[in-house]
Amino acid sequence: MTLPDVVVTSEMLWLSALVAALIDVGLVLFLARRIQPSRFWQLHWPIALASGVFWMSLGLFFFETTWESFYAMFLPNPANRSLVRSTLELLLYPVIGLVIWWLAARLPGNPTVTFCLLGGLEALPEHLWGIYRLGMLDKVPFLQQASPASVLAFAVPEYVLYWGSTLGIAHLIQRVWQWCRQRMRF
């Protein structure tokens, strides 16, 4: 799929960052009320599983829907690009999720909130790599009117949403697992 007449400007990204941040506040508050610190400590393996599934699914979706208009501009075209990318995400993001979980569990404050915020910060090295190493703002036509600062400003709340969603999925996985274990005991 291509995006022929779409142009993303810095102003659009700044506004999108604000909207995403407002959505993040609601999501993070909801998760912080649902996931108590004692329960957060039990989420390490569900985080790994949810991270792999979430990021692989998201990567497959974006690769399939925006390859021609985005990724093909700065990545080589392997024969099985979706499979290669999704396999990397399946291996990499569970590790990233566990590192974020480990840090959040040990830093002061509510670990759920910290997890989501650290997840947002995780966007910075990824997007800095894309901007300055891969040259995505220069090579992708619809991003040529966007500044690096606006891309980074949007990326942080975007990733808070992604990692908050991952945490919510992990919490759901843990709850379903506990429910199944209780049912099997009769």
In this prediction, residue 184 carries a pLDDT of 84
Let me know if residue 39 belongs to a domain.
no
- pTM, whole model, 2 decimals? 0.89
Mean pLDDT, the chain cut into blocks of 10 residues (186 residues total): 74 98 98 96 95 88 78 64 63 94 97 98 95 90 94 98 98 92 78
Q: Is residue 136 part of a domain?
A: yes
CA neighbor of 51 nearest in space, from 181, 176, 173: 173
In a domain, 119, yes or no: yes
Question: What is the spatial distance between Cα 70 and Cα 65, in angstroms, rounded to a whole number?
Answer: 9
Whether residue 97 lies inside any domain: the answer is yes
Provide the 8-state DSSP code for 79: T
1 in a structural domain? no
Please report, for residues 47, 55, 124, 155, the alpha-carbon distance to residue 182 in angstroms, rounded to integers and kept in the order given: 21, 30, 41, 40
**Residue 27 belongs to domain spanning:** 10-34+44-185
The answer to whether position 3 is within a domain reads no
Q: How many domains are there within the chain?
A: 1
Token digits of residue 146: 């966007």
